[in-house]
Structure formats: C-alpha cells, structure tokens
Amino acid sequence: MKIISYNVNGIRAAEKKGLFEWVKEEQPDVLCLQEVKAMPEQIDLTPLESLGYSWEWHAAEKKGYSGVATFSKKQPDKTVAGMSIERYDMEGRILRTDYGDLTVLNCYFPSGTTGDVRQAVKYDFLDDFFDWIKKLRKTRKKLIVVGDYNIAHEEIDIHNPKSKNSGFLPEERAWMTKWFEAGFIDSFRYICPEEVVYSWWSYRANARVNNKGWRIDYQSVTDNLKSHLEKAYHLTNAKHSDHCPVCLEIKV
C-alpha cells in the first residue's frame, strides 16, 4: 500500500497548480490531504474519480478554513469524521478510514503560530488526541496516523534548531517524544535515521529555494507494523503548496 499525505494549503489553489495531474502520475493507494479549505461541492473531483478514487471529506464549519479529505482506490469499510470533541471536530481535523484491520487517520493538528490563544488550543488538542488514540487502540490495533502535526520533533527536523517559535517549543517536542514512546514509530525517521529533509517552508525570504524548512508532516505507525515498512520518503519536487507530500510504502 502506497500512502501519501499532503497539506495542500487549499485544494482549489493546488488543483490550479496541477495537483490532480500529479496524483495521476503518483497513483497512491491512499491520498490524505490536509488543509483543503473547501467543501467537496466547491471543486470538480471528476478527474480523481476517473482514476478510481472514492473520497471521504471532513470540512470545517468555517468556510475556507482547515479541513481534511481522504481519497482511496479501495472503498473503506468504515469512515468516521472527527473524534467526538466538538471544539476540534468543527474545525475538520481528523478523518478515520478503515481498510480491513488497518486504520488510517488523516490528521491536521492545530497551529499555535497566531498567538497564545491558539497555542493553548494546540496543547489541549495534543492531550485530548493522545487520550483518544489510547482508547481507539483498544479496538483498532493497527494504526497509521498521517498528516500535518505542526511540530518539528528533533533538531535534525528543523533548519534552525535555536528556534523558540511555536512548532518547536519544548512542550511540543516533549509531546512528540511521549507519542513515539507510547507504541508509535516515526516511519520516515525509522527508515532514514540520518537524512535531513523538510516538509514545510515559509513563503518568506525564499525559504524553499534556500531549503530553510521544517519537518512537520509525519506518518506514524503502531509498532506492530514495523516489520511491514518498506519505504518512506518526501516528494520535494511537488510544489502545489508550502508543504511537500510525504510517502509511505507498507506491506499489508
């Protein structure tokens, strides 16, 4: 199974930059998009449907904001939008799709870059998400949790490790450590322990051209899937967004 996760920073804008043609070339089995910033009726999805994809969508109540969408060649057995916590679900942040005994969670974690209020929301989300996953694992043993976590975990994951900005704060990094100590594997770092590569670049100061980025997009897998991991890599040549896609190939 080839799973691609991609924060497109607006699916309508990304489509105008050739997103759907790119999907046709890559042919992922599962495509998880974050920050779609649209309702499904606002974009013509026929090109993806013609490639054999079915889709599931969890939009934010606020127009032009947040939202996640999952496209898959195999119809999911079950789909669940959100995690039954209204303050997050109204922002369209979590979309679950089950394929047999495998569950893919398409996630867009909150950002805290706009100030203390949203940073507090981010911390609450991290705690609530951790508890929700703990409960989910009692019935769904094999999880792949992909998406924009909005956190760079280690110094290798950020061009400026002296940063004191949201996304690289000690509390956020400690949460990531707790996450990976609680039975999850950072699939990319497991396969590529020393590789320096980023998944997001600011639009400012030619950051992408100068490769001054952050690795904030992940594909975590439960440790019972470790032996199934085959490849994990970043598709840095895809430029439909300020993020690049991350890809995981796994035997299922």
The residues annotated with a catalytic role in the active site are 148
Residue type, 212: K
Q: Is 136 helix (H, G, I), strand (E, B) or coil?
A: helix
CA pseudo-torsion sign 87, 158, 19, 1: negative
Q: State how far the alpha carbon of 5 is from the alpha carbons of 37, 77, 85, 108, in Å.
A: 16, 20, 23, 10
Any idea what the Cα angle at residue 47 is, between residues 46 and 53, rounded to 5°? 80
Cα dihedral 37/39/40/43 (nearest 10): -70
Q: How far apart are CA 252 and CA 249, in angstroms?
A: 10
